[in-house]
Amino acid sequence: MSKTITGFSKLNKEAKINWLIQNFFEYAETAKETLKLYWNSDEELQNLHDEFIENTISNYYLPYGIAPNFVINGKDYVIPMAVEESSVVAAASLVAKFWSARGGFKANVISTKKIGQVHFMYKGDFDKLKDYFENIKSTLFKSTEEITKNMRKRGGGILDIELRDKTSELENYYQLHATFETKDSMGANFINSCLETIASTFENDEIQIVMSILSNYVPECLVRAEVSCKVSNLGESDSKLFASKFEQAVKIANVEPHRAVTHNKGIMNGIDAVVIATGNDFRAVEAGAHAYASRSGKYKSLTNCEVKDGIFKFWIEIPLALGTVGGLTSLHPLSKLSLQMLQNPTAEELMQIVAVAGLAQNFAALRALTTTGIQKGHMKMHLSNIVKQLGATDEERNYLLNYFSDKQVSHSAVVDEFERLRK
Ligand code: MEV
């Protein structure tokens, strides 16, 4: 029998859950209990979360941690991170401390231009289209005046609208390529509203609008973050060898896409965690970052390293379309708190902080990979999780952590030793 349903969205939360568990769960009561376990007892707060999306039946938590000791452009920060992966926050904290003793991170925003496009089809003569565009261009701006009024007051707005001929790539395909400055907001709604208004003003009998939408590829909304110190100050037993292997690791990620993807994934561990904690759109950031990593036609590292004249320099350049006002940033109490923790940054400052979190994460990963390997740290965490699952007492836990400090950790080895201990 079909399990499709009409009018599901109209049901209240309880009825939605009942329908779900009756149709898709064997152990209905357990499922219901789990869902309700994650409801917030503060009804107002729960309602707020319910309304973020549609058909909400519970909340899905991510741990919210903080990485202290970041120094960025001479200013102290504690960085909030929402992430489920162990070691990410620990790595950020360690690296923050390490670089705070070596001048901290330097960051600067290179550009803040965002992009949106009206995609359309046109079968006529290009010169005629060009004339039409030139004649209507000022009207296109005028048509958005109501939408752009507040943004213009804040120093933002539509920067330019360009007509682009894309017919060499797709028959009859043209676009209006618009650039925007959205100041402290991420600007997605603003850009999309402007584009839809522009499109309806631009449309005529010969122009068929296909769609109007912002682009998450923002190579001109770019930030750079950097660390540097004397090679001899890198704190390794053989700092010269370390610097050289580290540099090679980055070079490998620049020539080998399989490695580059993992290398950049590690960067995104840091980036996404801060992006989520501050209520920004991590899918947009991810999509844009990976497109930027491929801008040469080959997928490459987002970071770079140079060891020259005894100086180790490591930096990241990444497009980040972020907001510190609007969207979830002011709606979600924890996003608001994250921004307060970061001393209420402007969008440009947040870009710098997020880029630093990515660079720090990559530094931690490459330092571990080129020295001890990452499994040592991961296995420590793995061991601690197994011990927790086994329900070990504090005494048993201390014993097991000590016992495995110089041995290979595997689930079965820990279980065996635990059972032996209990016997
Ligand atoms: C794991 O989440 C991230 C790393 O694989 C990144 C890297 O290999 O550079 C450790």
Q: How far apart are the first and last CA of the chain?
A: 53
Same fold, 79-109+222-371 and 114-215: no
Q: What is the pLDDT of residue 377?
A: 74
In tens digits, the chain (423 residues) has pLDDT values of 789 999 999 999 999 999 999 999 998 889 999 999 999 999 999 999 999 999 999 999 999 999 999 999 999 999 999 999 999 999 999 999 999 999 999 999 999 999 999 999 999 999 999 999 999 999 999 999 999 999 999 999 999 999 999 999 999 999 999 999 999 999 999 999 999 999 999 999 999 999 999 999 999 999 999 999 999 999 999 999 999 999 999 999 999 999 999 999 999 999 999 999 999 999 999 999 999 999 999 999 999 999 999 999 999 999 999 999 998 988 999 999 999 999 999 999 999 999 999 999 999 999 999 998 877 777 887 898 899 999 999 999 999 999 998 898 999 999 999 999 998
Q: Which residues fall within 8 angstroms of residue 371, CB to CB, at 6 or more apart?
A: 236, 242
Q: In three state form, how does the secondary structure of 326-386 look?
A: CHHHHCCHHHHHHHHHCCCCCHHHHHHHHHHHHHHHHHHHHHHHHCCCCHHHHHHHHHHHH
Long-range (24+ apart) CB contacts under 8 A made by 229-238 are 229/102, 229/103, 229/311, 229/312, 230/310, 230/311, 230/312, 231/307, 231/310, 231/311, 231/312, 232/310, 233/102, 234/312, 235/98, 236/371
Please, which residues bridge with residue 224 across strands? 108, 317
At 27 the pLDDT is 86
Q: Determine contact, residues 377/87, Cβ cutoff 8 Å.
A: yes
Closest C-alpha among 235, 198, 224 to residue 213: 198
The CA 264 to ligand 1 mean position distance, Å, reads 8
Taking domain 79-109+222-371, whether its CATH number is 3.40.1000.10 is answered by: no
Domain boundaries, the chain: 8-50, 79-109+222-371, 114-215, 377-422
**What is the per-residue pLDDT for 385?**
87
Give the pLDDT confidence score for residue 77 in this predicted structure.
98
Distance 163 CA to ligand 1 centre (A): 42
72-120 pLDDT tens trace: 999 999 999 999 999 999 999 999 999 999 999 999 999 999 999 999 9
Question: Do 347 and 265 contact (CB within 8 A), yes or no?
Answer: no
Q: Residue 259 CA: which ligand 1 atom is closest?
A: 8
Q: Which of 134, 69, 81, 135 is nearest to 105 (CA)?
A: 69
Distance 32 CA to ligand 1 centre (A): 36
What are the residues whose beta carbons fall under 8 Å from the beta carbon of 38, sequence distance 6 or more? 58, 59, 60, 61
Q: Is the pTM of this model over 0.85?
A: yes
Q: Whose CA is nearest to atom 10 of ligand 1?
A: 365
- How close is the Cα of 149 to the center of ligand 1, in Å? 45
Which is nearest to 99 in space by CA: 133, 131, 65, 72?
A: 72
Closest protein CA for atom 3 of ligand 1: 266
Residues in the chain: 423
Q: Kindly list the protein residues whose Cβ atom lies closer than 6 A to any atom of ligand 1.
A: 85, 262-263, 265-266, 269, 365, 369, 374
Domain spanning 114-215: which CATH class is it, in words? alpha beta
Residues designated catalytic = 85, 265, 281, 378
Residue 12 corresponds to which amino acid? N
Q: Are 154 and 139 in contact (CB under 8 A)?
A: no
> What's the confidence (pLDDT) of residue 363?
98
| pLDDT score recorded for residue 374 | 79
Ligand 1 atom with the shortest distance to the CA of 263? 9
